[in-house]
Amino acid sequence: MSTHNISGKKVAFLLTDGVEQIELTSPWNAVKEAGGIPTLVAPKSGSVQGFQGTEKGDTFDVDTTVAEAEASDFDALVLPGGVINADHLRMDKDAQAFARNFFEQHKPAAAICHGPWLLIDAGVVRGRNLTSYRSLQTDLLNAGAEWMDEEVVVDNGLVTSRTPDDLPAFNHKLLEEIAEGKHSGQTV
């Protein structure tokens, strides 16, 4: 059970087909257990296909599309990883705008593994400290971020982690940042 109470806080989980399943389900359950309200936001309605590594996992029902969703309706954003998921989201203009709006509104955001790819295309990583799956290091550095090889990095409301092994630390800091609320340094 979490030491952070986020009762009633709405958390958008932005993802699409190819999401790394554990990077969705673990933070989702942490948010629910802490009293938060997770919402699955995706580019298309229906359901999205999770993966466990390279094998198909479960499907997850979409609550709302990213074109219909408004960052102002949520208290925080979570970007799970998965190469296919992250690669498709980073090219989606609605997903870019949705993510950027959380930063413009100074709201907490969290990304794990390949999740930070979207943040590059959303234009919100320049000058920020973060981590990711190792293969994104060069992309993040080229976008002006400071990349660190640590299990979790927190920078003014932005929480990032590298792999599923980091989920306990990621979930803890995610809940902490949501509980703290808006961060003036969380901006584009």
pLDDT at 59 over 90: yes
Residue with tokens 């938060």: 36
pTM listed for this prediction: 0.97
Q: Are 178 and 33 in contact (CB under 8 A)?
A: no
List the catalytic residues: 113-114
- Which pLDDT score is estimated for 21? 98
- Which pLDDT score is estimated for 1? 45
Contact residues for 68 (Cβ-Cβ < 8 A; gap 6+): none
- Ranges of beta strands (E only) in the chain are 10-14, 19-20, 37-42, 47-52, 55-61, 64-65, 76-79, 109-112, 129-130, 146-147, 152-155, 158-161
Running DSSP on this structure, what letter comes out for residue 9?
Answer: -
Contact residues for 24 (Cβ-Cβ < 8 A; gap 6+): 13, 15, 50, 60, 80
Q: For residue range 72-94, what is the model confidence (pLDDT) as tens digits? A: 999 999 999 999 999 999 999 99
Nearest to 57, CA basis, from 1, 87, 18, 27: 18
pLDDT at 108 over 50: yes
Q: What is the mean pLDDT of residues 162-166?
A: 98
- Which pLDDT score is estimated for 5? 87
% pLDDT > 90, the chain: 95
Give the fold, CATH level 3, of 10-180: Rossmann fold (3.40.50)
- Which pLDDT score is estimated for 85? 97
- Which pLDDT score is estimated for 2? 55
